[in-house]
Amino acid sequence: MRFGEGTSDCLKREFMEELNISIHDLTHYYTTDFFQPTTLLPSTMQLLNIYYQVKTDKPFTFPVTGRKNDFTEIIDGAQCFRWLNINRMTEDDFTFPIDKYLVHKLQQDFGSDVVKN
């Protein structure tokens, strides 16, 4: 987030900058409600995660994979996006503790809405 920017505006800006797609109908889903220290910075700092559900007007145009860390090129800031079946997700699919925690919440809240393959 930029100084003075709200979470919704930040999310809209990041979607546009990173994915060239606009989002709308933002609905707050979850905010970390337990202590989560960061492991990515040299000093001890607390990490706060905020999750939203969003909608888009157009389909995604960026490459998507089904494999974890499916990078075509390993460079600083490399990204890859993948789809996971919500009913088959496990904690092992994720790196960060907060994302591992959210697997069960997502399955509880949305798992029954997804057709199992």
Is the whole-model pTM more than 0.85?
no
Return the top range by mean pLDDT from 12-16, 30-34, 71-75: 12-16
| pLDDT higher than threshold 90 for residue 28 | yes
Q: Which residue has the higher pLDDT, 62 or 29?
A: 29
How many helices and strands (H and E) does the chain possess? 2, 4
Distances, alpha carbon 5 to alpha carbons 10, 28, 44, 62, 79, in Å: 6, 16, 24, 26, 24
